[in-house]
């Protein structure tokens, strides 16, 4: 589109003497909005052209399905837009309920951000025309219960899909060779199978916080070769079983299990950490740190990582001797400064001589 726009603009000046003045004939004016559609035809949507001649469309003012349909029945000089945006507040009177097939006519997008609406369903072919252009699809903060996840393989460049804060109850097994960033936080009681990500090998971020997750089945991340961030905060996990988190290649930079109910971490439960990983167990129910379990976790993140165990009822008994005395030079510095015993004393301030004497 950019080359076409430039060609049209340059054509206005072609084959003219340097001293001549370019004039547009009054009987054939170029609309002031060009290359956007005429503003009255797409109102309340707003079309803008950036310095690189990218077209961007903001339809945050649309109030219902019919109005959105009317906007895209207007005459669009060009059909390849860079972005489409609707940002609303579900508490307002806006009433867009569905995105039906054909609603966008022949207009295509690279970036779509639709948030805060009352949209409940996304039809199968809504973004079909954008299948070879769409890169970012953000549909957070809506009321979506039905989304065509089965169409993901047809989007060849889609690398970001955020579906946070909706009403999705079932996540089918996903398939995509391009997807890198996937987030589905705040969808209550979300159900899925262990192999849900088996056919999405290039994921770098998976975020599934506050979805009512009760168990983490071993094998869920075994096909991941590029996963650097895994967030499972604010769930109902009580235990990490052996091989619960084991990606194909060790690349984790952030592993967050904060605000669960974890009281037990099994031997070899976590793999894939690297020497600068940040691991959060903040706000769980962990009481002891047995050496045969936790030494393996600490050893993965040395010398530059952080393991945060603050907000846990740590007993700080002899189970900590390995950390405070035996391997203090290697591992104690990896523990977050805020990690404290249930007595209130910070673990990094514990007196090693106590453990030497009583353990």
Domain assignment of residue 25, yes or no: yes
Total domains, the chain: 1
Phi then psi for 55, rounded to 5 degrees? Answer: -90, 135
Nearest to 119 by CA among 166, 160, 164, 158: 166
334 in any annotated domain: no
Q: Is residue 98 part of a domain?
A: yes
153 located within any domain: yes
Position 33 in a domain: yes
CATH number of the domain to which 4 belongs: 3.80.10
- Whether pTM > 0.75 for this model: the answer is yes
CA distances 256 to 108, 201, 209, 259, 350, Å, are: 36, 20, 9, 9, 26
Predicted confidence at residue 32, as pLDDT, reads 59
Q: How far apart are CA 166 and CA 187, in angstroms?
A: 6
Instruction: Give the pairing of strands 121-122 and 205-207.
Output: unpaired
Residue 15 lies in a domain: yes
**Distance spanning both ends of the chain, measured CA to CA:** 73
Residues 6+ apart with CB under 8 A from 228: 204, 205, 251, 252, 253, 254
In a domain, 314, yes or no: no
Instruction: Compute φ and ψ for 349, nearest 5 degrees.
Output: -100, 0
d(CA 247, CA 272): 6
CA–chain centroid gap for 141, Å, is 13
Show the domain range for 160: 1-168
| Cα–Cα dist 59/57, whole Å | 6
Whether 336 is covered by a domain: the verdict is no
- pLDDT of amino acid 273: 95
Asked if 350 contacts 320 with a C-beta cutoff of 8 angstroms, the reply is: yes
Burial class (CB in 10 A: 0-12, 13-18, 19+), 217: exposed
Torsion of CA 352, 354, 355, 359, to 10 degrees: 160
**pLDDT tens track, the chain, 359 positions:** 544 444 443 343 333 333 333 333 334 444 457 899 999 999 999 999 998 999 999 999 999 999 999 999 999 999 999 999 999 999 898 999 999 999 999 999 999 999 999 999 999 999 999 999 999 999 999 999 999 999 999 999 999 999 999 999 999 999 999 999 999 999 999 999 999 999 999 999 999 999 999 999 998 999 999 999 999 999 999 999 999 999 988 899 999 999 999 999 999 999 999 999 999 999 999 999 999 999 999 999 999 999 999 999 999 999 999 999 999 999 999 999 999 999 999 999 999 999 999 99
Produce one character per residue of 163-192: b if its CB has 16 or more CB atoms within 10 Å, e if not. bbbbebeebeebebebbbbbbbbbbeebeb
The beta-strand segments (E) located in the chain are: 46-49, 55-58, 83-87, 98-99, 111-115, 121-122, 136-138, 160-162, 181-183, 205-207, 229-231, 239-240, 252-256, 264-265, 273-280, 306-308
**pLDDT for the residue numbered 33:** 74
């Amino acid at each position: 589109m950019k080359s076409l726009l430039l060609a049209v603009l340059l054509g206005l000046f072609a084959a003219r003497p340097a001293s001549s003045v370019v004039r547009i004939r009054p009987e054939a004016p170029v609309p002031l909005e060009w290359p956007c559609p005429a503003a009255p035809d797409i109102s309340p949507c707003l079309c803008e052209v950036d310095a690189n001649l990218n077209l961007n469309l903001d339809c945050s003012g649309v109030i219902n399905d019919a109005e959105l349909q009317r906007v895209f029945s207007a005459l669009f000089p060009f059909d390849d837009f860079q972005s489409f945006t609707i940002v609303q507040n579900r508490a307002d009177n806006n009433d867009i309920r569905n995105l039906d097939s054909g609603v966008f006519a022949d207009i295509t997008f690279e970036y779509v951000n639709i948030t805060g609406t009352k949209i409940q369903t996304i039809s199968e072919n809504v973004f079909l025309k954008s299948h070879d252009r769409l890169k970012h699809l953000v549909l957070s903060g809506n009321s979506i219960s039905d989304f065509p996840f089965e169409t993901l393989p047809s989007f060849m460049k889609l690398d970001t899909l955020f579906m946070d804060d909706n009403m999705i109850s079932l996540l089918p097994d996903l398939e995509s060779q391009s997807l890198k960033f996937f987030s589905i936080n705040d969808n209550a009681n979300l159900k899925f199978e262990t192999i849900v990500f088996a056919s999405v090998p290039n994921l770098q971020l998976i975020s599934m916080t506050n979805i009512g997750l009760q168990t983490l089945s071993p094998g869920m991340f075994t096909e991941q070769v590029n996963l650097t961030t895994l967030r499972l905060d604010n769930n109902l996990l009580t235990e990490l079983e052996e091989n619960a988190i084991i990606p194909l290649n060790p690349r984790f930079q952030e592993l967050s299990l904060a605000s669960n109910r974890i009281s037990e971490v099994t031997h070899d439960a976590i793999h894939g950490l690297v020497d600068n990983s940040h691991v959060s167990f903040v706000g769980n129910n962990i009481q002891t740190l047995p050496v045969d379990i936790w030494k393996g976790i600490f050893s993965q993140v040395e010398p530059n990582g952080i393991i945060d165990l603050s907000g846990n009822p740590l007993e700080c008994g002899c189970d900590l001797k390995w950390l405070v005395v035996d391997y203090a030079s290697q591992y104690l510095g990896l523990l977050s400064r805020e990690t404290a015993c249930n007595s209130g004393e910070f673990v990094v301030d514990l007196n090693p001589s106590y453990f030497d004497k009583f353990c």
